[in-house]
Chain A
Amino acid sequence: MDKFRRQFLAVSGLGLAAFGLPKVLLAQSQSPIRFGMVVPLTGATSQFGATMGRAAQLAAQEINAGGGILGRPIEVLLEDDQSNPEAAVRAARKLIDVDKVVAIGGSYASSVTSAIAPLCWQNKVVLATSSGADSITQLPHQGYIFRTSPTTTLQGTRLAEYAVELKCKSVFFMGPQTPFAQSYIDNITRIVSAAGAKMGGLIYEDKKANYRSEVDQALRAKPDMIILGGYVPDTAVVLKDLYRAGYDGRAMGLSFGVNQKLLEALTGGVGDGTYSLVPSASVDSLAYKRLIEKMKVPSLDTYSCQLYDHVNLFALAVAHAKGDASGTAIRDNIRKISQDKAGVIVDNATDGMKLLAEGKECNYDGASGPCEFAANGDVEGVFFRYEQIQKGKLVTVKVA
């Protein structure tokens, strides 16, 4: 009996404490506004996951240090999508149902974004994505999707135009099965064929120990330009196998496959001369310079820059909506704070919020670019940086 009493007291004491705690906390501050970030911390597309997460958290710290949104703090919740659509859906569900986030950012692999997009618009949650597949903004998303990465069509077009500019006569595409592989092939074919060059392509399986046979198949077409459509791990192996096969033509990829991470996987001059098209983080912008300084890195991939911008865009949109923290308010206000021609250009949310508080308009230009969106949610006015691997380093050839 005595034991029972002790237990009862202990349990009821805990219960009372649990009741008491949140009240104490609430008294100190208002409840935070929550933004979710779905990022690839593990799996095949995880090369940038860690920096993407850090960039988003950094944006939140800056905003909170500047007084939050109209006095309310913000909270950025990271969830791992495991580079896997099914895990991403679980992560997004948790963010929406349990954490009650009003907007989700990040969302890197196109397969992941395609999977979580319907969840977002059905729950009236804004989704800002760094994916490229054309199909994403063709979904019936009622304006809830914003894309900060250039579309696959635009990327493919730029790749093909550059191949034509380099006077290539026979172009060959090699990439893994992704929601955008076919779109690359179609777009590149359209442009290089019009320029009178040959075009071929193959889609491979991305978990192989070597790509000798695929390389053989590609080399039969006698290409002088091979376009690499893969992520870092498979692109590294393909480049090594091209080197082994004695391929002496050119190669070209996009920044999710050909980047600093890839260089760490290559040795002895393999991959030298390979071009990379980088949706240009505005390298000259103050936001970018501030971001790399705070992250203590020499340079930063565009995707991490985009996540930094996602958080800032969400926060500014809520501020513009007079503190209405809802997905719909964010949807309706993002363009008002990111592309108002009359607005004062700002590179961080805190400065923007000061202007809004004074009754002025702001125009956010971020670390990844000007952050202006077409009616369907696609980003506009993207610059590309054309880089080339020279002696084991990425060198900028031109920006256009």
Chain B
Amino acid sequence: MFTDIIQQAVNGLMLGSVVALPALGLTLIFSVLGSINFSVAAQMTAGAYAGWMVNTYLGWPLVPCLIAAFVIAAGIGVAGDRIALAPLRKKASASTPLMVAVVSIALNLALENVFRFSFGNGLNSYNFEIARDIRIGDIRLGPQQFRNMVIALVITAGLAAFFNFTRIGKAMRGVADNPDLARLKGISPANLSTMATAIGMGLAGIGGALLAIDTSVDPLTGSRLLLVIFAAAVVGGLGSLGGAVAGALLVGLASELSLLAIPPVYQSGIAFVAIMLVLTVRPSGLFSAKTRV
């Protein structure tokens, strides 16, 4: 029983680390732009396809695939934001964040169908060997999934450094805190929000590519996980980057550990329960900081 708990916990961390990067992206965009962009799911898929093309057509290894995933997802993310969401944000009203969120769902669907049209409905696989699990005692550990976890944590640390130590990172935090004051100081919110979208969606793209290396790519690769990603971001408080990663790992842990008690088929309910609990107990999220980002 004890090994089972440890094993499920390890599985949960691995599941959570897949969700961590897109949750990071969602949180970053929310904290700078003030609205949820659900098209992260489609950007994950975009990244997955971009990496897959680099890998299968050019035969390049992991790192170029991830870079391609980042660039393509960032590009499509910014384009989608400019075309569909930015015009809505210009007419600021109380309902703007909600409208942006709803339109971003539509954007997500539109992109999903663009992928379907371009690549078909079939599943595509990366040309990477699937590594057998490493056994540590009775515990199985997937090297590739472990690698995903490390990559997610490294990127989080990198982002944290970016926001704390670089001028532009500080400027972004400034915009998030007080757009008007930032404007007075000569910081352009429009440029910074573009940058936040690019980084956030790029991260989602990397997350999608890592996920697809583990599984496979089809038009729904990202959308399948949208609920879990959203749950992770909410649990993390939608305001802190570390919170997003912690939230992702927590949701992953909760959903895998729950298998010890409930049938696997009810697993997706865990994400809902997590959102519900957090919103009742701590509406600002478990890891919400005083200032955003």
Residues of B within 8 A of A237 (CB): 214-216
**Restricting to A181-221, which residues have a CB under 8 Å from any CB of B?**
202-205, 207-210, 212-214, 216-217
B211: nearest chain-A partner, CB-CB: A209
Would you call B81 an interface residue if the criterion is a C-beta within 8 Å of the partner chain's C-beta atoms? Answer: no
A246: nearest chain-B partner, CB-CB: B132
Please determine whether A216 and B214 come into contact, CB atoms closer than 8 angstroms: no
Would you call A261 an interface residue if the criterion is a C-beta within 8 Å of the partner chain's C-beta atoms? Answer: yes
Interface string of B96-121 (1 = CB under 8 A from A): 00000000000000001100100011
Give B248 Cβ to nearest chain A Cβ, in Å: 11
Would you call B290 an interface residue if the criterion is a C-beta within 8 Å of the partner chain's C-beta atoms? Answer: no
Please determine whether B124 and A265 come into contact, CB atoms closer than 8 angstroms: yes
Please determine whether A232 and B263 come into contact, CB atoms closer than 8 angstroms: no
Would you call A240 an interface residue if the criterion is a C-beta within 8 Å of the partner chain's C-beta atoms? Answer: yes
- Say which one of A30-38, A44-52, A138-146, A305-313 lies at the interface with B: A44-52
Please determine whether A264 and B265 come into contact, CB atoms closer than 8 angstroms: no
Would you call B8 an interface residue if the criterion is a C-beta within 8 Å of the partner chain's C-beta atoms? Answer: yes
Number of residues of chain A lying within 8 A (CB) of chain B = 40
Give B9 Cβ to nearest chain A Cβ, in Å: 10
Q: Assuming the A-B contacts A207-B225, A236-B123, are A245 and B264 also in contact, with contact meaning beta carbons closer than 8 angstroms in the complex?
A: no
Residues of A within 8 A of B145 (CB): 210
Please determine whether B211 and A213 come into contact, CB atoms closer than 8 angstroms: no
**Bound CA span A44–B11, Å:** 24
Interface centre among A44, A202, A213, A237 (most CB of B within 10 A): A213
**Bound CA span A131–B59, Å:** 40
Would you call A20 an interface residue if the criterion is a C-beta within 8 Å of the partner chain's C-beta atoms? Answer: no
Please determine whether B128 and A261 come into contact, CB atoms closer than 8 angstroms: no
Which one of B7, B112, B131, B259 lies within 8 Å of A214 (CB-CB)?
B259
A216: nearest chain-B partner, CB-CB: B7
Would you call A244 an interface residue if the criterion is a C-beta within 8 Å of the partner chain's C-beta atoms? Answer: yes
Give B218 Cβ to nearest chain A Cβ, in Å: 6
A209: nearest chain-B partner, CB-CB: B18
Which one of A205, A233, A265 lies within 8 Å of B268 (CB-CB)?
A205
**Bound CA span A245–B127, Å:** 20
Please determine whether A44 and B215 come into contact, CB atoms closer than 8 angstroms: no
Please determine whether A267 and B126 come into contact, CB atoms closer than 8 angstroms: yes
**Bound CA span A74–B224, Å:** 39
Interface string of B255-281 (1 = CB under 8 A from A): 010010001111110000000000000
Q: Assuming the A-B contacts A210-B215, A240-B214, are A267 and B113 also in contact, with contact meaning beta carbons closer than 8 angstroms in the complex?
A: no
Give B27 Cβ to nearest chain A Cβ, in Å: 19
**Restricting to B58-113, which residues have a CB under 8 Å from any CB of A?**
112-113
Would you call A43 an interface residue if the criterion is a C-beta within 8 Å of the partner chain's C-beta atoms? Answer: yes
Give B141 Cβ to nearest chain A Cβ, in Å: 10
Residues of A within 8 A of B15 (CB): 208-210, 212
Give A256 Cβ to nearest chain B Cβ, in Å: 13
Please determine whether A266 and B215 come into contact, CB atoms closer than 8 angstroms: no
Residues of B within 8 A of A244 (CB): 130-133, 140, 142
